[in-house]
Structure 1
Amino acid sequence: MARHLPRAAVTSLVCASLFAAPMAGVALADPAPAAPTGFSWSPGQVADAPRLSSMDNFRDVAGTGAGYTGFGGEHLNKGVFYRANAFTPNDADLATLGGLGLKKVYDLRTDPEVAAKPDRLPAGAEYVRVPIISGDITNAARKLRSPAEAVAFMENMNRSFVTGEAERAGFKKLLTDLANSAGPQAFHCTSGKDRTGWTSYLLLSLVGVSRDTIMSDYLLTNEYSAGSIAAMRAQIAQAYGEQAAIIFTPLLGVQASYLNAGITALEQQYGSVRNYLKTGLGLNDATLAKLALRMLD
């Protein structure tokens, strides 16, 4: 039975996949405030984010091709904010990342995750730790006994991004730094889907990206990381049996209900994304304006 998986095995599962990383309930932001006087931003490169073999969920928050559109049909600036899974590129991908001119890389992982897979950054990029999750998530995950419990576990995690004091403090620091730091930046967790997915949801909502686009972007993890998800599931089945793989499969990718759970909690407690950003996270109008200005043409 999966409940007999040793703690070390569940730790590996959680760190390697659960934190790698709805539609009608997506809360749209209020109109973006005017940019503060004296602040300006020149968009970075407009090429699509490269597909990396060793970091399969690396992508541009602004999308691919023409990119996503926000308020007034404005295209989001590409080459500004990148999202990723664990920042552990092979030599070839490290060289590719070096061409993006990254100035900062924000690591949202817990101490055990960082210890298991330390970041490897291109020259010129500053490493910044912003741990998001609090509590012993490994102990909770190892008790899962069914796929339904695994789904509920993921939904509860997304709710914690709204209700958890430590989680909100982490997102406040991350978004503040993103707003006030110049040049291209990247943020990541382990699978690039949960903490990273919530951050992307907030950024896209802030500038008025449509609810359908936001969800489609969230679900792209299942496409980008399909190979690594399948490999992890196969490893679990081989090591602990097919029943364990069935139970833990919901932890490996994303489902709309995960993001929707967080969004519903946000709407119930704060009413809108902007109110969550201002009241829940304590971000001021100037910080939100800087973020919006960096992201929109």
Structure 2
Amino acid sequence: MHRSSIPLRTARTAAAIAVAGSFLFAGTAAAAPGAFPAFGSSGFGSSAPDVVDTPRLASLDNFRDAAGGGYMNKYGVRMQTGVFYRSNAISPSDPDLAVLAGLNLTAAYDLRTDGEVADKADRLPGGVAYVRVPVDSGNLNEIAELRSPDEARRYMADANRAFVTDPAARASFGKLLTELAETPGAQIYHCTAGKDRTGWVSALLQSIAMVPEETIMRDYLLTNKYTAESIAKSYEGLTASQGEAVAEIYRPLLGVEAGYLQAGLDELSARYGTVDNYLRTGLGLSRETIVTLGHKLLA
């Protein structure tokens, strides 16, 4: 390694740790769910459904209802709100903890790895069952090696493809969806930033409910609206500590882009053909589990 490259590599490593630790990955009553069509990334931009009626929590900025405000499916049936919630790491302030308590949650599912949990443990209302369903959050060494924003985007796309290709990830997603189906009452699932692993689960649930693909993608992109202030602060922090050049490399990791989710959906289509086949063959869900989820999801 040339001597002149050491400071930049050190800066990148420090930035990677900061991004991964503070923001990155915070991650069908369908009789016959179909394949996700190729959404493409054009035409979505910052477009998103209206911000939902779920209480906004200052200390959990990506907390929201997986059903939005009651998304309409392709057959004119609305998703049921107040059933499944999604979030970033659950470390609420006292007032926000009281709001969570008022939702009568029965279970919280944590998709984070051991290191992420050790960094910031969940804080839940009394009586809420805490269930670990870890999904790998990505390789920190790979993040440190990123050299451009485009490489960062490819990293995020690959992470979403891994939701389809990685057997351990599929096992965890299968376990989570089974738990959501079998456990009564309102439930919440989350990762660290509530955008990648959590976003994938939300897309699957909305697909099970037969929500139009445009709505699924727009709901995914709502992370950029909900967490806009956190994204700006993270970028400003990286710029101040590592310089603008390094901050620009990591900017694509701070939010979401349509291409990230699309990469996972394209991989799903290539390997499994349909969402139903991915759920049943890839995740090992029974038809009964899928139908049960559909009944819960649809009003």
TM-score (norm 1): 0.89
Question: Residue in 2 aligned with 1:73?
Answer: 76
What is the letter of the counterpart of residue 59 of structure 1?
Answer: R
How do 1:66-105 residues align onto structure 2 when only pairs under 5 Å count? 67-105=70-108
1:121 maps to what in 2?
Answer: 124
> Which residue number in structure 1 is paired with residue 54 of structure 2?
49
For residues 57 and 102 of structure 1, the distance between their equivalents in structure 2, rounded to whole angstroms, comes to: 17
In 1: Cα distance, 2:73 partner to 2:201 partner:
16
Q: Distance in 2 between matches of 1:289 and 1:79?
A: 19
Quick check: 2:136–2:169 contact (8 Å CA) kept in 1? Answer: yes
SS in 2 for 1:122: coil
Distance across 2 between alignment mates of 1:176 and 1:55: 25
Contiguous gaps of at least 5 residues in structure 2? 1-6, 33-51
1:106 aligns with 2:109: yes
In 2, are the aligned partners of 1:229 and 1:252 still within 8 Å (CA)? Answer: yes
Query: How far apart are 1:146 and its partner, in Å?
Result: 0.5
Whichever residue aligns with residue 83 of structure 2, its letter is V
Change (3 A) 1:30 1:292: closer
Q: Deviations over 1:3-62 (max 9, x none)?
A: 3236465233113211113xxxxxxx69436xxxxxxxxxxxxx9311000000000011
Aligned-partner SS, 2:278: helix
Residue number among 9, 17, 20 corresponding to 1:11 in the alignment: 17
Q: Identify the residue that residue 238 of structure 1 maps to in structure 2.
A: 240
In 2 relative to 1, CA 248–9 (structure 1 residues): closer, same or farther, beyond 3 Å?
A: closer
2:44 is matched with which residue? none
Q: What pairs up with 1:259-274 in 2 under 5 angstroms?
A: 259-274=261-276
- Kindly indicate whether the alpha-carbon contact (under 8 Å) linking 2:29 and 2:298 is maintained by their aligned counterparts in 1: no
CA distance in 1 between partners of 2:80 and 2:292 (Å): 13
Query: Which of 160, 164, 169 is the equivalent residue of 2:162?
Result: 160
User: How many angstroms apart in 2 are the aligned matches of 1:255 and 1:157?
Assistant: 13
Deviations 1:222-257 (A, max 9, x none): 000000010011111111111111000000000000
Residue type of the partner of 2:22? A
C-alpha displacement of 1:294? 0.5
Runs of 4+ in 1 over 2 A off after TM superposition: 1-12, 29-33
Q: Which residue does 1:147 correspond to in 2?
A: 149
1:112 deviates by 1.1
Residue identity matched to 1:87:
I
Q: Distance in 2 between matches of 1:8 and 1:165?
A: 30
| Partner of residue 31, structure 2 | 32
CA distance in 1, matches of 2:151, 2:29: 35
What amino acid is the match of 2:235? R
Same amino acid, percent of matched pairs: 52
Q: Tell me by how many angstroms 1:123 deviates.
A: 1.5
Q: CA separation in 1, counterparts of 2:31 and 2:19?
A: 39
Q: Give the deviation of 1:2 after TM superposition.
A: 4.9
Would you say 1:185 and 2:187 are equivalent positions? yes
Report what 2:231 is aligned to. 229
Contact 1:104 1:125 in 2 (8 A): yes
Does structure 1 residue 132 correspond to structure 2 residue 135? yes
Deviation at residue 266 of structure 1 after TM alignment: 0.3
Q: Distance in 2 between matches of 1:74 and 1:3?
A: 52
Q: Secondary structure at the match of 1:103?
A: strand
- Calculate the aligned-residue CA RMSD, in Å: 1.6
Instruction: Answer yes or no: is the 8 Å Cα contact 2:80–2:298 preserved in 1.
Output: yes
Aligned residues: 274
Structure 1 pair 182/289, CA: closer, same or farther in 2 (3 Å)? Answer: same
Aligned to 1:217: 219
TM-score normalized by structure 2? 0.88
- Measured in 1, the distance between the counterparts of 2:8 and 2:84 equals 38
For 1:59, which of 54, 61, 64 is the aligned residue? 64
